Structure 1
Amino acid sequence: MYDKDFAELVKIAAEKLKEDTVYKMLIHSEDYQKESDERDKAERNYEQLDLTMEQRKVCDVFLDYRDRQSLEYSDYSYLAGLYDAFRIMAVIFPDRWDMEQIQKALSLIKN
């Protein structure tokens, strides 16, 4: 029953749900809002530094890679959370969950 189209649909659905769920949680998190304000302040301070174009480019490339890695980590953390939830359900209801199919759908094992 597993195929690549199904796995792609699972990934798209997970990304959409994650965006909605995480966004709703973050807008209500006082800690996140404070950190966001502090990040914005730090960014303004960074932009006002007297850096050469080469220095700014090096910093921007570094920050860009760090941001991309953080996003990727976030995506994998979300998928790991989903996987753990399914594992819990497999323990509670062992006859209803095919963990190998779930692993494939979440791309946790190679086909």
Structure 2
Amino acid sequence: MSTWTTSKVVQDFVRTLAGSVLNANQHSAAVHPRVLVRRALEHNAAAIILAHNHPSGVLDPSEADKRITNRLKEALQLIDVRTLDHIIVTSNGCKSFAEEGLL
């Protein structure tokens, strides 16, 4: 695990952006590719880092996490926006999809 993924700055950033792209409740979150694509276009993004929290404290990505990551990555590729990473944030630390070879 690298230092940048465990930094408080990353965790604060994730908390700040939570809800800006997704519709979440206590147990799950729904991310719609069209909303993420629209936000990337609004910001003229060339690349993006996805992030979400696991309140359970489990660092490992679920199969649903892996599926939505691939779906979002494919949607972003259509508009030439690179997905640099997807970070899972918990009270126990952070896990990077890129570092785990999951992107």
Q: TM-score range by the shorter chain?
A: under 0.3
TM-score, with normalisation over the residues of structure 1?
0.24
TM-score, with normalisation over the residues of structure 2?
0.25
Highest RCO, 1 vs 2 (Cα 8 Å, sep ≥ 6): 1
* The structure with more radius of gyration: 1
Question: Which structure carries more helix by proportion?
Answer: 1
